[in-house]
Amino acid sequence: MKTRKISLAMAMFFAITFLFSANAFAQEKKKVETAEIKSSVVCGMCEDRVKKELAFEKGVKDVQVNLETKVITVEYKTSKTDEETIKKAITKIGYDADEMTADAEAYEKLPACCKKDAPPH
């Protein structure tokens, strides 16, 4: 009888330990980070385009664009993507992303108001 209680107590201890460790592992796997990327966005159309296109990038949770500072802030799941991949995605839309320059073909397809030399409006 005493052995059965000890076995039951040990089984419960291991079950609880397993549940807590599995939960901690799941939370670690779902880690979210924020990247601030300097870009060449100049207007509301740029903002809309960047938000729309990055929404389809795997792992991206949120995108904010500050037109005054020209900074794109991206929240993303580290288990799905990384900052380098997000920067490449921004260049493929036609905008600079930190030290990476915009894809030439994509940049040429941007409206005139979205070009780097366009005045803020």
Q: Is the pLDDT of residue 86 over 80?
A: yes
Task: Find the mean pLDDT for residues 105-117.
Answer: 93
Instruction: Give residue 106's identity as a one-letter amino acid code.
Output: A
Q: Where are the beta strands (DSSP E) in 5-115?
A: 32-38, 60-66, 71-77
Q: Is the pLDDT of residue 88 over 90?
A: yes
Structure tokens at 61: 């949770």
pLDDT of residue 11: 58
For residue 62, give every residue at least 6 positions away whose Cβ sits within 8 Å of its Cβ, in sequence order, or none: 74, 75
Lowest mean pLDDT among 14-23, 35-44, 49-58: 14-23
Confidence of residue 57 (pLDDT cuts 50, 70, 90): very high
Task: Find the mean pLDDT for residues 27-54.
Answer: 91
Distance (Å, whole) CA 30 – CA 40: 30
Lowest mean pLDDT among 5-14, 52-61, 78-87: 5-14
